[in-house]
Structure 1
């Protein structure tokens, strides 16, 4: 049973997250010849204050 864990920055619509989970499920199912009903996808949304790049939080990137 494939289990995919995805972390993304918060702020995307529920529709975007749902589309992501569907697309990833389909891709993993096809790539591994695994039944789609056996594919598990977990999406964790991380607050921008808890994600950093180069020592700057995502909240402050581009500033």
Structure 2
């Protein structure tokens, strides 16, 4: 049972998340031959103030 963890900035719509989950599930089915009901996708939304790249918080980027 593949499990996919996705961390992303908060603010996506329900429809965007729904489409992402469907696309990721289908990619696993096509690539690994898994059954859709055996694929788990966990979405974790993170505030820009809690994510940094290159020593800089995303909330402070221009």
| TM-score (structure 1 length as normaliser) | 0.91
Secondary structure at 2:6 match in 1: strand
Gaps of at least 5 residues in structure 2 are: none
* Aligned-CA RMSD value: 0.8
Query: Please, which runs of 5 or more residues in structure 1 have no aligned partner?
Result: none
Runs of 4+ in 1 over 3 A off after TM superposition: none
Provide Cα deviations, 1:9-61, integer angstroms capped at 9, x if missing partner.
11111111111111000001110000111110001001111001111111111
